[in-house]
Amino acid sequence: MGEKMLLIAGRSTKQGVSLNVGKHSPEYQEVVTTLEMNPDDMARLGLKDGDRVRLRSKVGEVIVRCKARKPDDLPSGVAFLPFGPASTQLMGGDTAATGMPLSKNIEVEVEPVDSDQ
Amino acid sequence: MTDVRVVENATCTFCGCVCDDIILTVEGDRITQAKNACTLGKAWFTEHTIEDRPVALVDGREAALQEAVEAAARILVESRFPVIYGLSDTTCEAQREAVAIADYIGANIDTTTSVCHGPSGIAFQGVGESTATLGEIKNRADLVIYWGGNPAEAHPRHFTRYSVTPKGMFVPRGRKDRTVVLVDVRRTPSARAADIFIQVKPGKDFEVLWALRALVKGRPVPSFIEEETGVPLATLQDLVERMKNCRYGVLFFGMGLTMTRGRHFNSGALLALVTDLNEYTHFVAKPVRGHGNVTGADNVLSWQTGFPFAVNFSRGFPRFNPGEFTTVDLLARGEADAALIIASDPASNFPRPAIEHLRRIPVIALDPKPTYTTDIAKVAFTTATYGINVAGTVYRMDDVPIYLRPAFPSPYPSDEEVLRAIKVRVCELLDIPLPNGKHH
Ligand code: SF4
């Protein structure tokens, strides 16, 4: 079973560096599909570094790989994904008349994906 | 043997810091060293290659420049609701051409500002901005607060070149003379540079800012603020004392405020707090801007249309309305019937419903590199990279214009050249005389 969490999409050094190599480069693809999580959350969900997880929001879903951050860096219940094609799959088109879609604190369900799937 | 050249005072346009002190070593058409640049800037320069790509593709087929210009002009002239978007990674000169096209064809023009600090733009109009240049901050600021931003990873030299470590006229000991505070929901690598890190619960920035405003005005704040926001009352009281008692304070704010619930209310609350603080001391606020010339895009649109983004020319004069004329909304509602995208990749960073519509309409894309947007474009131009191959003007994030010194020429045309050619062809098709009197 999955758990509800808040997803933050944002910039990171690796995302910025790999962007210069090119959007179609393997480096960029890897960076933008690596989800950073709180280690306690990962343990509870039976996840270890490199495992696949499904993120599902109101508008879409993606499968990414997870990686632990220090618990101090990322509070329990919050996950971070670098901006990119994966994070956009989870963003809704409603901007509440501002032009700005929400890409921080998106409600998502995080669910481990069995490796044999 | 390839000749080796050194280009001094080159400008990095990868992020809004627009560092103009880079020393490049150029061997043929590769940059082998970028002295003074940060990790991101080094990657920007040294990963730069002249792509072996056709100058243009029409329907995925290789095309001559003129043929692609013709195809692009026809799409724009024949569409009923064209949208022009992007513009933050190109020169002001190219941005001007894009505004001219929008004006001639009655298009909607919007920039990546709408999905980064657009909400701050709305807040500036509502609350006002107490502003400064980064030079002033470097020379004067003794309290530096970053709110909802991660400069260590997004603008690495912001700390070292402008606001944290440099020695300034009134802060002669540099870092030692400044107090640095970071406010964020995550403990990012930027926290290492701060004396004080304040961790806010996700989505509670507005509440924290409003509590700070109350404390500045000497009003009581209930102790349940900690349960609500994750920040103890004593921490807020301490911060307020520091803010009121500094000589020159600055609040830099990032997309942690604008991309979360509250959006322009969050930016507005921060600007209002800064206004309040000016009762006690000198305090300024600056958004930390991402792309190299996103600030230029705001400036060019403002001086040409009166508005910074989300501008619509369909009635023959500019109208501004975020939510109506912002690109994500136009696309998500399925309104635009053609798109001209310059130096931006909405197909990889817009929300899914907007991307779905973009796939349904004819797209014209200008970009030095293949992107998700050039992949879906009906007409795709390969253009030269600004700052590396193209000269022109760029605005740093503090609205200071900087002229670019390119390292070497590119075989591809600049965005400005392609846009001007499209503009001229559009005018011919619509039988509009060009402003300089020349009839094509
Ligand atoms: S801080 Fe920004 S502008 Fe300066 S070198 Fe780094 S990426 Fe380039």
Output the pLDDT for position B328: 95
Is pLDDT above 60 for B439?
no
Structurally, chain A folds into a number of domains equal to 1
For B38-67, the pLDDT digits (tens) are: 999 999 999 998 878 999 999 999 999 999
Put simply, the answer to whether B122 touches A98 (Cβ < 8 Å) is yes
What are the CA-CA distances from residue B403 to residues B98, B387, B391, B415, B424 (Å)? Answer: 20, 9, 7, 16, 26
Which tokens sit at B423?
């503009």
Q: Which of A31, A59, A95 to mutate: most B Cβ within 10 Å?
A: A95
Give me the mean pLDDT over the B395-423 stretch: 95
Output the pLDDT for position B438: 56
Output the pLDDT for position B121: 85
Same-domain status, B36 and B159: no
Q: Which of B44, B115, B150, B186 to mutate: most A Cβ within 10 Å?
A: B186
Q: Give the residue, out of B15, B22, B397, with the most ligand 1 atoms within 8 A of its beta carbon, to mutate for a pocket test.
A: B15
Same-domain status, B392 and B312: yes
Same-domain status, B178 and B305: no
State residue B157 phi and psi, 5-degree precision. -90, 5
**A54/A63 Cα distance (integer angstroms):** 4
**B313/B107 Cα distance (integer angstroms):** 5
Please give the distance, rounded to the nearest whole angstrom, from the Cα atom of residue B341 to the centre of ligand 1: 24
Is pLDDT above 70 for B281?
yes
- List of chain B residues whose C-beta atoms are within 8 Å of the C-beta of residue A31: none
What are the CA-CA distances from residue A35 to residues A38, B259, B344, B345 (Å)? Answer: 10, 19, 24, 22
Please give the distance, rounded to the nearest whole angstrom, from the Cα atom of residue A4 to the centre of ligand 1: 37
Same-domain status, B63 and B41: no
CB B98 within 8 Å of CB B311: no
Output the pLDDT for position B401: 96
State residue B196 phi and psi, 5-degree precision. -130, 130
Q: Is residue A16 part of a domain?
A: yes
Output the pLDDT for position A94: 85
Of B114, B150, B372, the CB nearest to A85: B372
Which tokens sit at B183?
């406010």
Is pLDDT above 60 for A3?
yes
> In the structure, what pLDDT confidence band is assigned to residue B20 with cuts at 50, 70 and 90?
very high
- Could you say which of B253, B287, B321 is where a domain stops? B287
CB B403 within 8 Å of CB B393: yes
State residue B279 phi and psi, 5-degree precision. -70, -25
Of A17, A22, A70, the CB nearest to B40: A17
> Which residues fall within 8 angstroms of residue B385, CB to CB, at 6 or more apart?
B48, B368, B410
CB B259 within 8 Å of CB A83: no
Q: Is residue B310 part of a domain?
A: yes
Cβ–Cβ contacts within 10 Å for residue A114, how many? 7
Residue B3's Cβ-count burial label (10 Å; 0-12, 13-18, 19+) is exposed
For B65-92, the pLDDT digits (tens) are: 999 999 999 999 999 999 999 999 999 9
Q: Is residue A86 part of a domain?
A: yes
Put simply, the answer to whether A101 touches B350 (Cβ < 8 Å) is yes
What interface predicted TM-score (ipTM) does this complex get? 0.84
Put simply, the answer to whether A73 touches B156 (Cβ < 8 Å) is no
CB A102 within 8 Å of CB B260: yes
Q: Is residue B387 part of a domain?
A: yes
- List of chain A residues whose C-beta atoms are within 8 Å of the C-beta of residue B183: none
Cα of A98 to nearest chain B Cα, Å: 5
For A4-28, the pLDDT digits (tens) are: 999 998 888 888 888 888 888 889 9
Q: Is residue A19 part of a domain?
A: yes
- Could you say which of B287, B317, B340 is where a domain stops? B287
What are the CA-CA distances from residue B410 to residues A96, B55, B371 (Å)? Answer: 42, 11, 19
Q: Which helix or strand (DSSP H or E) is residue B401 part of? A: strand B401-404
3-state secondary structure of B94: helix
Of B122, B185, B351, the CB nearest to A92: B351
In this structure, what CATH number is given to the domain that contains residue A34?
Answer: 2.40.40.20
B 248-287 residues inside an 8 A Cβ radius of A? 255-256, 258-261, 263-264
Is pLDDT above 80 for B435?
no
> Which residues fall within 8 angstroms of residue B244, CB to CB, at 6 or more apart?
B216, B277, B280, B281
Is pLDDT above 90 for B140?
yes
> Residue B16's domain spans which residues?
4-45
For B244-264, the pLDDT digits (tens) are: 999 999 999 998 888 888 888
**B279/B338 Cα distance (integer angstroms):** 50
Residue carrying structure tokens 């304070």: B249
Would you mind telling me the total number of residues written for chain A in this entry? 117
- By 3-state DSSP, what share of chain A in percent is helix, strand and coil, each rounded to 5? 20, 30, 45
Side chain identity at residue B195, one-letter code: D
- Could you say which of B267, B287, B307 is where a domain stops? B287
**B369/A22 Cα distance (integer angstroms):** 7
Q: Is residue A72 part of a domain?
A: yes
- In SS3 terms, B292-325 reads as CCHHHHHHHHHHHHCCCCCEECCCCCCEECCCCC
Adjacent-strand bridge partners of B394: B402
- List of chain A residues whose C-beta atoms are within 8 Å of the C-beta of residue B255: 10, 104
Give me the mean pLDDT over the B323-343 stretch: 96
Q: Is residue B172 part of a domain?
A: yes
Put simply, the answer to whether B186 touches A78 (Cβ < 8 Å) is yes
For B296-321, the pLDDT digits (tens) are: 999 999 999 999 999 999 999 999 99
| Cross-sheet strand order for the sheet of B61-63 | B61-63, B56-58, B379-382, B363-367, B338-342, B82-86, B108-111, B311-312, B319-320
Structurally, chain B folds into a number of domains equal to 3
Which tokens sit at B121?
């733009």
Please give the distance, rounded to the nearest whole angstrom, from the Cα atom of residue B10 to the centre of ligand 1: 11
Q: Is residue A105 part of a domain?
A: yes
Is pLDDT above 80 for B32?
yes
Is pLDDT above 70 for B430?
yes
> In the structure, what pLDDT confidence band is assigned to residue B1 with cuts at 50, 70 and 90?
low
Output the pLDDT for position B436: 67
Q: Output the ligand 1 site: residues, CB below 6 A.
A: B 12, 14-15, 17-19, 37-38, 40-41, 155-157
Same-domain status, B74 and B164: no
Is pLDDT above 90 for A64?
yes
Nearest CA to ligand 1 atom 8: B41
Q: Is residue A84 part of a domain?
A: yes
For A65-116, the pLDDT digits (tens) are: 999 998 888 889 999 999 888 998 999 888 888 888 887 889 999 999 976 5
Output the pLDDT for position B437: 57
| pTM score of the predicted model | 0.92
Q: Is residue A117 part of a domain?
A: no
Same-domain status, B97 and B141: no
> Residue A21's domain spans which residues?
3-112
Residue carrying structure tokens 């709408």: B114
Helix axes B415-430, B65-78, angle to 10 degrees: 50
> In the structure, what pLDDT confidence band is assigned to residue B424 with cuts at 50, 70 and 90?
very high
Q: Is residue B128 part of a domain?
A: yes
